[in-house]
């Protein structure tokens, strides 16, 4: 997944970093929601809207309609298998629709997604028009920056793999106590041991 920059984090009583974003925070980044079934004139009864997005992805009628609209599908992504900052209770599946003739790294026209809701049921399949938002979407999913202070100095750490590994950005301040590269357990231990304050 692509890298990101900012992210909301929460600290528990033990001063452990608990990286967490909600599905609503993630979706708020995206542009206007569109009814993809109406947009592509697809019979909702044939492709049941509450079905798994895999059903839509493989559906012959849907694939014909996107082909007719000079679009092509990207790979079906599943956050269950990626290092992301999305709340562990939420599993998200999504894919992009790009103009034919474009390459994968170009901005897609649409993103289509589905996620499991807090009660364990699946959301409806949702579609969003995209105007230069996919970088921010990936950033929100995987990357974060925090600042740690010992009261005198401030140390900046960044993750780009869902909080599993952290790297100091102001490397000139690395020392025996403040390591340059840490996994999440080492970072949590360091925060507690040195009584560091998370200020951002």
- Residue 164 in contact with residue 182, Cβ under 8 Å? no
Task: Provide the residue ranges of all domains of the chain, joining segments of one domain with +.
Answer: 9-141, 143-198
State the pLDDT at residue 153. Answer: 93
pLDDT at 200: 62
Bridge partner list, 122: 116
The token pair that represents 145 in the structure block: 């920056």
* pLDDT value of position 9: 41
Q: Are 161 and 150 in contact (CB under 8 A)?
A: no
Q: Output the pLDDT for position 18.
A: 62
pLDDT tens digit string along 13-37? 345 566 678 889 899 999 889 999 8
| Residue 8 binned pLDDT confidence (cut-offs 50, 70, 90) | very low
pLDDT tens-place string over residues 60-115 = 889 999 999 999 999 999 988 777 778 777 899 999 999 998 877 789 999 999 99
pTM over 0.85: no
**Residue 79 has what pLDDT?**
87
Residue 49: C-alpha distances to residues 26, 38, 66, 100, 113 (Å): 21, 12, 17, 26, 12
Tell me the per-residue pLDDT of 124-181, one tens digit each, with 9 for 90 and over.
999 999 988 888 888 888 888 889 999 999 999 988 888 888 999 998 999 999 999 9
Q: Tell me how far apart the alpha carbons of residues 50 and 76 are, in angstroms, rounded to a whole number.
A: 17
SS3 128: strand
């Amino acid at each position: 997944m692509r890298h990101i920059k900012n992210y909301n984090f929460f600290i528990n009583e033990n001063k452990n970093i608990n990286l967490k974003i909600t599905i609503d925070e993630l979706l708020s980044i995206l542009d206007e929601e569109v009814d993809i079934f109406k947009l592509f004139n697809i019979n909702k009864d044939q492709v049941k809207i509450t079905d798994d997005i895999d059903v839509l992805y493989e559906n012959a009628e849907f694939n014909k309609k996107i082909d007719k609209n000079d679009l092509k599908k990207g790979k079906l992504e599943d956050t269950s298998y990626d290092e992301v900052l999305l709340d562990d209770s939420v599993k998200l599946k999504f894919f992009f629709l790009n103009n034919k003739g474009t390459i994968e790294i170009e901005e897609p026209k649409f993103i289509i997604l589905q996620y499991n809701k807090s009660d364990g049921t699946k959301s409806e399949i949702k579609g969003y028009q995209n105007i230069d938002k996919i970088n921010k979407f990936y950033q929100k999913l995987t990357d974060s920056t925090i600042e740690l202070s010992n009261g005198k100095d401030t140390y900046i750490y960044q993750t780009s793999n869902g909080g599993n590994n952290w790297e100091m950005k102001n490397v000139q301040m690395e020392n025996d106590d403040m390591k340059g590269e840490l996994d999440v357990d080492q970072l949590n231990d360091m925060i507690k041991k040195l009584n560091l304050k998370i200020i951002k």
